[in-house]
Structure 1
Amino acid sequence: MNLCHFLTQNARRLPDAPALVHGERVTTWAQMQARVGALAHALVNDYGLAKGDRVLVQSANCLQMFETMFACWRVGAVWVPANFRLSPDDLAFLAQSSGATVMICGAEFTAHASACAPHVPAIIPIGPSPLGPDHDALIARHMGRMPPEAQVARDDPAWFFYTSGTTGRPKAAVLTHGQMAFVVTNHLCDLMPGTTESDASLVVAPLSHGAGIHQLTQVARGVATILPEGERFDPAEIWALVQRHRVTNMFTVPTIVKLLVEDASVDRVDHSSLRYVIYAGAPMYRADQIRALDKLGPVLVQYFGLGEVTGAITVLPPAHHSPDDAAMRIGTCGLARTGMQVQVQDPQGAELPPGETGEIAVIGPAVFAGYHDNAAANGKSFRDGWFLTGDLGHMDDQGFLYLTGRESDMYISGGSNIHPREVEEKLLTHPDLAEAIVLGAPDPVWGEAGLAVCVARPGAAPDPQAVLDWLAPKLARYKLPKRLLIWEALPKSAYGKITRKMIRDELIVRGDWPLDPARAG
């Protein structure tokens, strides 16, 4: 099935129901279908787009950006959305590596368009621009035209999902029509069972990545998508939209859940309509879980998954969340998703017994088709059919998975392996700390030693040494960070994640990163 058929079904069954709400503008399913058909016709007739061609999209969340997804698929092209916060040079790399023949670009991103122009034959702006006819003008010109849905096979590419590239250049994970159809079904089964057209979904993350997959799942069930108007994340606006539209589900990352439930606006609105607050991208610290459950009730759903597996590795549904430590498996990211198999493997690929730490591997229909034009990365990422996630963890004897961290996060101090997450969990139980991250930093005696960077809660001013003294009895001595710094805020990635690479870069800028003794002199 061509994924654009979800939209066709809604236009037939729910023509006048809201498909997307952005401020006061409501676009129905029939209107969206007509607009997508017109855009698809323009792409074919004005720009020569053909099946298999790639379309790079650089845009903040908006109706037009969402429409490009379905217009590409209707003609059998590949949707290549970029995180709109990328720099012009980073986007130019995506233009080159994807081999895009058309770029659709928000009119405000003039520098990005200029950087990509040498690599992409045609650029279509979203909004008035000297670049040529814009998205809406093309739709107006071709309104009433509807190309047939392209015939696609299960393994035909639908989406180039670019990895975040925290350890190097981003790679394009190839997501196919058949794989994505399984993921949509799996999301409805495991993350938000019972979803129907009477639901409403709020977007609080870029549609270019996990939120786009979540919203495609909403389209599969005729659910209205609500877009915030503000350019910046505003908890008060989010909660007002939840109340106004009786929002039932949203997808985000733990950092955003934390900001939402800690904002005073959460207590001023009715958010009882929420059934599923789905978080992914990183584990949620226990203290933040408890706070969210106390504020929102039993609505949290965690899933663990990478872009390469389209999010579908494990799930921890509301029934397995609890503010009571005795009633919850603390630290687990849940059980294998329906139709997927997960193992913890040793370096040779053998499955490890419960309780032993190794690399998490996954196999099943949600696994991507491989990286586009990157045989070296494919060779490193697959072993005997299993996709190797690069994440470390262990399972208990009932199959619940526990993440230890990225293989690259672990550091070795005095010959002992240290996983930062354990230390971070302890730090976040300190009453004056809101955020914490631990890195292994060069050390002349131990090789590496822990360096903790923390953010204080509003109104608090903890002394770094006093925090380390408080932490000392709670950890084995070799796990205790050697240094602790207090910052006003931690830098976050374009996806709202706190990454160790960004923290390390900032430490270097501030002059707080130790000189590597192996390179000294």
Structure 2
Amino acid sequence: MNRGAGTPDPKGGIAPQTVRVANLAHFLTRNARRLGGAPAIIRGDRVWTWGQMDARVSALAAGLREMGVGKGDRILIQARNSHQMFESMIAAFRLGAVWVPANFRQSPEEVAWLARSSGASLMICDAEFAGHAAACDSVARHLTIGGGADGFDALVDRHMGTHVPPADVGRDDPCWFFFTSGTTGRPKAAVLTHGQLTFVLLNHLHDLMPGMTPADRSLCVAPLSHGAGIHQLVQLAAGVPTILLPDAAFDPDVVWRLVAEHRVTNMFTVPTIVKMLVEHPSVDRHDHSSLRHVIYAGAPMYRADQRRALDKLGPVLVQYFGLGEVTGNITVLPPSEHDVDDDRMRVGSCGYERTGMHVQIQDGTGAEVPAGTTGEICVAGPAVFAGYHDNPEANAKAFRDGWFRTGDLGHMDGEGFVYITGRESDMFISGGSNVYPREIEEKLLDYPGVAEAAVLGVPDAKWGEVGLAVCVAEPGQAPDAEAIRAFLKGRMSGYKVPARILFLDAMPKSGYGKITKKIIRETLRERGLLSSETA
């Protein structure tokens, strides 16, 4: 456990003691006092004020406490974005319990595994996910959103007016099991704590969205179970209302209409969603001049997509690099570092290290490498998580001499800007040379008619491994694979040019809209598109 300031001991040192911190739920209490009548959550024609949200969260906490939930208990959530999902988060924090959100797109079997691995004692579930609830037979108690007389809202109504103060918490007390996406196996539960998340929220406010006030407006377009949930906590800390999409289905026209209607100033998403938004014709039908920060993370944005977004939206893009284990706090590339002109931008950089964080590029022994040299991106600082829940083997691999090892390869220039080459697991070796797919993918997207691209390393009898490019064509276009290979040969070394180029109607993506090599490889295998050599 981390220790903080204490009292002098007889030997002249300081006797350590547990550091108490403010419970994250106190942000809601503070807003209710200061901004009680101001909007907190907006969905369609419904508005919940900070005062109403605080009363509902307190009532929910009282109901959960009556059900036996206490400090340290895990609450599994299987739900789409809603005000109830947000309330479950803050009520869990208020009790000192641990919020365990699942991606609502996961299967019943996947969520059942999350329930068992997290040790959840309660499951809160949308009524539409009855199959998921049934699969989670290891969880003794269930509470259904939309469950009628025995459901979530009925529990809140029964305890309305009951005040539940935030539980006493220390800096290292867990509050959120943030499950990784599981690109290299089963998802792991990264343990986020009250003290760590407090730093994260302040850092987001300082580095990503400086100058925010309650006059700002945030639009939520991604699942609250992961990065968008952290983003909404930032809005909570600043007293900024969040607008939720009125329907479950993602519709760019609805997004842009809400931006115009509510004068939205910030939103968080992933590069593929930004691409969808700026390529949709509705972007030109609605006023989006209120936007100041369009934050993208989860994966680097390809340069062609950056240019298109900057042309449409202006200087509002903010990139951050940071895994769930560091809760997004590794680097930042602010609007001032984005430009449509390649000569005025560090093309390919994910930015410089975040305030209060220390980033190093290290070799296989843990030694820092010189500027410009490729190595593993490692990070230390208050945003680093407490470790993986009940997974000592993963913890041993993830940490070295106090540094968290991201598993991402990259280099840093002389001014401290970081460039991601790709995941260590994505790199392949062709004829004895390291090949980093990111570089090839960027060039593929420069070819007319190619909308999306991903490059995999696959076995080859002669070279050991060669590249397999998976592409999606722009609507109405049919690029020729051999013409693309010829295009690439003039722009990179021959061993980097993919041996095969396949076109799919749509790029396989994760439940969060990210392109992951694991999912693409599984899709190709299922469709019989990997030869016997590469299977």
TM (normalized to structure 2)?
0.95
CA–CA separation in structure 2 for the residues paired with 1:373 and 1:225: 34
Match of 1:57 among 74, 77, 80: 77
1:106-125 aligned at under 5 Å gives the runs 106-116=126-136, 118-125=137-144
CA–CA separation in structure 2 for the residues paired with 1:100 and 1:507: 35
> 2:298 — aligned with what?
281
Query: Any idea what SS the aligned residue of 1:109 has?
Result: helix
> 1:421 — aligned with what?
438
> 2:498 — aligned with what?
481
User: Cα offset for 1:431?
Assistant: 1.4
Superimposed CA distance per residue, residues 306-332 of structure 1 (whole angstroms, 9 cap, x where no aligned partner): 000000000000000000000000000
User: Cα offset for 1:164?
Assistant: 0.5
Query: Any idea what SS the aligned residue of 1:108 has?
Result: helix
CA–CA separation in structure 1 for the residues paired with 2:280 and 2:460: 39
Q: Is the 8 A contact 1:127 1:134 kept in 2?
A: yes
Match of 2:269 among 230, 248, 252: 252
CA–CA separation in structure 2 for the residues paired with 1:313 and 1:34: 36
> 2:45 — aligned with what?
24
> 2:226 — aligned with what?
209
CA–CA separation in structure 2 for the residues paired with 1:475 and 1:119: 53
**Aligned: 1:85 with 2:102:** no
Deviating above 2 A after TM superposition, structure 1's stretches of 4 or more consecutive aligned residues are 514-517
Identify unmatched segments of 5+ residues in structure 2.
Answer: 1-21
Q: Is the 8 A contact 2:171 2:194 kept in 1?
A: yes
1:335-484 aligned at under 5 Å gives the runs 335-484=352-501
CA–CA separation in structure 1 for the residues paired with 2:278 and 2:178: 30
For 2:41, give the aligned amino acid.
L
Q: Is the 8 A contact 1:293 1:322 kept in 2?
A: yes
> 1:199 — aligned with what?
216
Superimposed CA distance per residue, residues 29-88 of structure 1 (whole angstroms, 9 cap, x where no aligned partner): 00000000000000001x111111110011000000010011011111111111111100
Match of 1:262 among 274, 279, 289: 279
User: Cα offset for 1:469?
Assistant: 1.7
> 1:167 — aligned with what?
184
CA–CA separation in structure 1 for the residues paired with 2:159 and 2:441: 55
User: Cα offset for 1:128?
Assistant: 2.5
CA–CA separation in structure 1 for the residues paired with 2:528 and 2:508: 16
User: Cα offset for 1:155?
Assistant: 0.5
User: Cα offset for 1:514?
Assistant: 2.7
Query: Any idea what SS the aligned residue of 1:65 has?
Result: helix
> 2:6 — aligned with what?
none
> 1:299 — aligned with what?
316
Superimposed CA distance per residue, residues 226-268 of structure 1 (whole angstroms, 9 cap, x where no aligned partner): 0001211110000000000000000000000000000000000
User: Cα offset for 1:28?
Assistant: 0.4
User: Cα offset for 1:515?
Assistant: 2.5
CA–CA separation in structure 2 for the residues paired with 1:426 and 1:149: 52
CA–CA separation in structure 2 for the residues paired with 1:478 and 1:464: 17
CA–CA separation in structure 1 for the residues paired with 2:508 and 2:45: 33
Superimposed CA distance per residue, residues 121-168 of structure 1 (whole angstroms, 9 cap, x where no aligned partner): 100000026xx7111000011100011210000110010000000110
CA–CA separation in structure 2 for the residues paired with 1:257 and 1:468: 28
**Aligned residue pair count:** 514
> 1:74 — aligned with what?
94
> 1:176 — aligned with what?
193
CA–CA separation in structure 2 for the residues paired with 1:276 and 1:22: 21
Superimposed CA distance per residue, residues 422-455 of structure 1 (whole angstroms, 9 cap, x where no aligned partner): 0000000011110000001111111111100111
Of 35-44 and 228-237, deviating more is: 228-237
CA–CA separation in structure 2 for the residues paired with 1:156 and 1:516: 50
- What's the Cα RMSD here? 0.9
Query: Any idea what SS the aligned residue of 2:453 has?
Result: strand
Identify unmatched segments of 5+ residues in structure 1.
Answer: none
> 1:10 — aligned with what?
31
Query: Any idea what SS the aligned residue of 2:169 has?
Result: coil
CA–CA separation in structure 2 for the residues paired with 1:109 and 1:262: 33
Q: Is the 8 A contact 1:442 1:514 kept in 2?
A: no
User: Cα offset for 1:516?
Assistant: 3.8
For 1:152, give the aligned amino acid.
V
Q: Is the 8 A contact 2:448 2:479 kept in 1?
A: no
Superimposed CA distance per residue, residues 327-368 of structure 1 (whole angstroms, 9 cap, x where no aligned partner): 000000000000000000001000001010000000000000
User: Cα offset for 1:458?
Assistant: 1.1
Q: Is the 8 A contact 1:316 1:333 kept in 2?
A: yes
